[in-house]
């Protein structure tokens, strides 16, 4: 777990542990790029601000994304989008502690057991800019009330998945299913 100094990190750690994962947690700036070799998968945690404001995060993403399975959560999604050449946009309405309905728009192993519509918890003021999203990403869900708001992505050729919502939040009732399904991809 790459901790981007977010209070939700430990909720993610506990939910991953409930699904059988052994999780090592360090802040982004405390990891070395060689550390990824010891793990089956990497989670990029949520965090405040923008990806380049989390010390060490983009350095790790550049080193790890081409070679290791990664799940990006909130800021983690944003970091993966920026790494791939995409951009972010500041949202008109800050969505901290808000619940919304997500609509599945594409296939993704982490969403496979979820219905076509599912509830998610938002805690963000930035999101992927869909108008400049690189073609390497498949949009797998969007906000029902705002289809421009990308809620999850899967990379077309690399084992990279990302969610803008918080699967560890009580506002995402099926979030533990998302985490368990991501872990299942690592064991497959």
The H-or-E segment that residue 43 falls in is strand 42-44
Residue 22: is it exposed, middle or buried by C-beta count within 10 angstroms (0-12/13-18/19+)?
Answer: exposed
In 45-155 the beta strands, taken as DSSP E runs, fall at: 70-73, 88-104, 117-128, 137-143, 146-155
Q: Is 74 among the catalytic positions? A: yes
Pairing of strands 70-73, 2-3: unpaired
Residue 179 to residues 18, 23, 42, 59, 188, Cα–Cα distance (Å): 10, 13, 12, 25, 15
Identify whether 68 is a catalytic site residue: no
Q: Which of 74, 124, 127, 161 is catalytic?
A: 74
Q: Which residue of the set 82, 122, 127, 166 is catalytic?
A: 166
What gap in Å lies between CA 11 and CA 169, rounded to an integer? 8
Tell me the residue ranges of DSSP E strands in the chain.
2-3, 26-27, 42-44, 70-73, 88-104, 117-128, 137-143, 146-155, 160-163
Catalytic residue among 82, 161, 168, 181: 168
Any catalytic annotation for residue 124?
Answer: no
- Active-site annotation, residues: 74, 166, 168
């Amino acid at each position: 777990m790459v901790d981007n100094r977010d209070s939700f990190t430990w909720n993610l750690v506990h939910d991953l542990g409930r699904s059988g994962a052994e999780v090592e947690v360090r802040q982004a700036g405390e990891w070395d790029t060689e550390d990824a070799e010891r793990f089956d998968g990497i989670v990029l945690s949520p965090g405040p601000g923008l990806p380049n404001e989390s010390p060490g995060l983009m350095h790790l993403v550049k080193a790890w994304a081409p070679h290791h399975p990664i799940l990006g959560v909130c800021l983690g999604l944003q970091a993966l989008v920026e790494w791939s050449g995409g951009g972010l946009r500041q949202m008109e309405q800050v969505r901290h502690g808000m619940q919304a309905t997500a609509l599945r728009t594409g296939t993704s192993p982490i969403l496979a057991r979820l219905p076509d519509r599912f509830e998610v918890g938002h805690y963000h003021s930035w999101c992927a800019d869909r108008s400049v999203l690189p073609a390497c990403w498949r949009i797998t869900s969007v906000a029902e009330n705002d289809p421009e708001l990308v809620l999850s992505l899967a990379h077309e050729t690399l084992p990279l998945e990302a969610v803008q919502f918080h699967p560890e939040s009580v506002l995402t009732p099926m979030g533990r299913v998302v985490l368990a399904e991501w872990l299942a991809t690592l064991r497959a």
